[in-house]
Amino acid sequence: MMGRRLKPARIRALLVYAIALAIASAVGCGGGPPPLNLPPHAMVIRLADADDVPTLDPAAGYDTVSWTFEQAIFDTLVRYGDGNIELEPDIATAWESSPDATTFTFHLRTDARFSDGRSVTSEDFRYGIERVLNPATRSRGMEYYRGIAGSADFAAHRKPHVSGIDTPDNSTIVFHLGAPDPIFAHKLAMPFASAIPRDVAEKWGDDFSRHVVGSGAFMLRDWIGGQRLVLVKNPYYFAKPLPHLDAIVESVGVSQELQWLRFDAGQIDAVVDIPPAEFPYVMKTPALRKLTLAKTTVTTRYLGMNCRMWPFTDLRVRRALSYAIDRHKLIAILNGRGIVARGVMPPNLPGYDPDLKGYDYDPAKARALLEEAHLARGFEFEIWMRADQTILMLAQSIQQDLAPLGIRARLKPVAWGPFLEAIRQPHTVQSFMQGWEADFPDPENFLGALLSRAQWGSNNDSFYSNPEVEQLLREAEPVADMKKRYALYDQAEKIVVADAPWVFLYYPVTYIIRQPWVHDYVINPMRPTRFERVWLSPHPD
C-alpha cells in the first residue's frame, strides 16, 4: 500500500518488528490478551501507545492520555466544538450567567442516560463536582471548583453538600460563586466536571477507574493492564446516530517506531506522533502527506527545574540553563514541528504577548552566570522524562548543549504514570521534561494552574513561588474586562520569565496521520481527538 525502497535503517526496524511479532506469537498462546470477540463487520478504530492509560476516573485523570478516553466515556455540561475553542452544548442545552459572573445556570437535556440505562440528572453533576472537591479523592481538579460558595465547608466535612450548588429539579443546576469568575463555564468543560453515578462510584471506591460508568458515546468493555483497552458503543447515547464506531481498541506497550511500522502495514488506523526519522519522508510523499492533519495546539513544552532542590534554588543557575540550550536545534530534531518558546503562554492562547523577549541561545552568558554562582566547573543533575523516543532525542540534545559548560545531565526515562506521580513530590525530581496543553483558553490555566504556590504538590511541579506573581494572580482572577485581565497576567508572566523556573523550549505543532479509510478525524487545539463522529470506510484486511 505504501511501498518504497527500503533503507538500511528501515530494514533493521523491520527486523525488530518481525522479532517482536515472533515473540508476541510465542507468548500469546500462554499469556497474551484474549480475542476481541467483536462482530465480524464491526467498525473498530485501532490505536496504540507506548504507555498504559493512567486512569479512566475523571476525578483522577489530568493528562492527555487519560482525557482521550475519559471524554469518550463521560459527558460534561458543555464541551468544545470540533476543531475550535468555542463552548457548545453537551448535556446542557442552554446556560446563562449573572452580569457579575457569580451565578451560572445550566439547563440539562432530558434524554441523556448512563451506559447502564439510568437517566442523567442534575444531581449526577453535583455529585461529580463534590467528589472532586472531597479531599479524600485527592483530585488535581479541586482548585478549579474551590470558588463555588460553600466548597470549603464541604471539604472540611462541616456540610454534607456544597451549598453553592443548587439542583432545583432534575434538569437544572445552578452554581453560586464566592467571587466573580468570568471563565467558570470553561472549567465545566473539563472531564473533572463529568456526570458520575453515585451508586457505582461509591460501590467501587478507589477502583472506580476499572469499573467506570458514564453517559458518553462509549463505555468500557475491558482493560487488560499493559496490553489493551477496549471501549464499545454506548447503546443509550443521546446523540443518535452517533457514535459511528462500534469500538475503540488501544494496544499498550507499543513503541513509537513500532507504531509507525504497524501503521505502515495497515494494522493501526492513526498515529498521533509521527517519528522524526519518518516525518521528512511523509512530507515528501504526496500519498502520505494528504493523510496528515496539522494544528498548532495551545501547548507549551518546557524543562522544569525544581526550585526547592539544589542547584536550582539559585536563580543564576536556572537562568544559565535557559541561555545554554539551543531551542532551534530542538525544532530541527522535530523536523520543524514547533515554534521556539519565549515564555509560559503559547501563541494562540488569548492574552499571549508576542513581544515577550525570553532567552536567546547564549552559552557565554550561561558560563558567566555559572561563575557568579560559584559553579564554573559545572555540576551534575538528573532530567526525568516520559519514556518516549522523541522526548529522549530532545533530552540528548539538551545534554549535549550543557556538556561544554561542565554540566553533566543524567537522563531518566520513566513510564508515564510513575513519571506524573514522581514530579509531584517536592524532593524527588531535580528537573523534568514536560508540557502543558490548555484546559481552557485563558492565561489563568497556565500561570495560575502551573506556577502558583497553591499548586505545590498538584500542578506546580517546579515548586516555584513569587509573592509578586501571587498578588497579580489574585488581582487578575475575578477581572471580567479582558483587556485589564490580560494586562495583569502579562505582568505576572514577565516576572516568571525573569525568575526562570522553566527553560521555555517550544510550542509544538501537532501532526497526525490516519489511514485513508479513516474519516472525520479532527484535531482540537486544546483537547485530545473525540471519536463520536469518526467513521471508517471498507479497507483491506
pLDDT digits (tens, 9 = 90+) for 380-436: 999 999 999 899 999 999 999 999 999 999 999 999 989 999 999 999 999 999 999
- Grid cell for residue 31: 499469556
**For position 295, what pLDDT does the model report?**
87
Helix, strand, coil share of the chain (percent; to 5): 35, 20, 45
**Mean pLDDT, to the nearest integer, of 219-240?**
96
The confidence score (pLDDT) of residue 32 equals 64
Q: Measure the CA–CA gap between 310 and 427, rounded to whole angstroms.
A: 10
For the chain, the C-alpha Rg in angstroms (whole number) is 24
Give burial (CB, 10 Å; 0-12/13-18/19+) of 16.
middle
Mean per-residue pLDDT for 498-512? 96
* Four-way CATH pick for 64-207: 3.90.76.10, 1.10.357.140, 3.40.1190.10, 3.90.1140.10: 3.90.76.10
Residues in a beta bridge with 78 = 89
A 10 A CB-CB count for 24 gives 10
- Is the pLDDT score of 31 beyond 70? no
Q: Omega before 243 cis (within 30°)?
A: yes
pLDDT at 321: 98
Mean pLDDT, the chain, whole residue set: 92
pLDDT confidence bin for 541, thresholds 50/70/90: low
CA separation for the pair 223, 208 (Å, rounded): 13
Convert the pLDDT of each residue in 420-476 to its tens digit.
999 999 999 999 999 999 999 999 999 999 999 999 988 999 999 999 999 999 999
Determine the Cα–Cα distance for residues 261 and 17; give it in Å rounded to an integer: 7
> Which residue in 264, 270, 265, 233 sits closest to 251, CA to CA?
270
The residue ranges of DSSP E strands in 396-529, in sequence order, are 408-414, 431-437, 502-514, 518-519
- Which residues sit opposite 303 in a β-bridge? 433, 503
Residue 350 three-state SS: coil
Assigned CATH class of 37-53+209-294+511-536: alpha beta
The grid cell for 481 is: 474586562
Q: Please report the pLDDT score of residue 253 as a whole number.
A: 92
Over residues 283-298, the pLDDT tens digits come to: 999 999 999 999 888 9
DSSP states along 81-126: PTTS--EEESSEEEEEE-TTS-EEEEEE-SS-B-TTSPBP-HHHHH
Pick the CATH number of 296-509 from 3.90.600.10, 3.10.105.10, 2.120.10.10, 3.40.50.720: 3.10.105.10
The full set of domain ranges for the chain reads: 37-53+209-294+511-536, 64-207, 296-509
Percent with pLDDT over 70 in the chain:
94
DSSP letter at 12? H
Burial of 204 (0-12, 13-18, 19+ CB in 10 A): middle
For residue 20, pLDDT over 80 is answered with no
Q: For residue 349, give the nearest of 464, 458, 486, 522 by alpha carbon.
A: 486
Residue 298, C-beta contacts closer than 8 angstroms, at least 6 positions apart: 85, 346, 348, 349, 437, 438, 441, 525, 526
Query: What's the pLDDT at 474?
Result: 95
Tens digit of pLDDT for each residue in 144-174?
A: 999 999 999 999 999 999 999 999 999 999 9
C-alpha cell at 189: 468543560
CA distances for 383 relative to 9, 50, 59, 308, 430, angstroms: 28, 20, 29, 15, 7
Encode pLDDT of 302-361 as tens digits. 999 999 999 999 999 999 999 999 999 999 999 999 999 999 999 989 999 999 999 999
177, 188, 123: which is closest to 151 by C-alpha?
177
What SS3 class is residue 1? coil
Contact, 493 vs 345, CB < 8 A? yes
Q: Indicate the length of the chain as a whole number.
A: 541
Contact (Cβ atoms closer than 8 angstroms) between residue 501 and residue 212: no
Task: With cut-offs at 50, 70 and 90, classify the pLDDT of residue 242.
Answer: very high
**Residues ≥6 apart with Cβ < 8 Å to 473:** 444, 447, 448, 452, 489, 492
Average of pLDDT values for 490-509?
97
pLDDT value for 223: 97
Residues of the chain with pLDDT > 90, as a percent, come to 85
pTM, two decimal places: 0.84
The single residue listed with the C-alpha cell 443548587 is 166
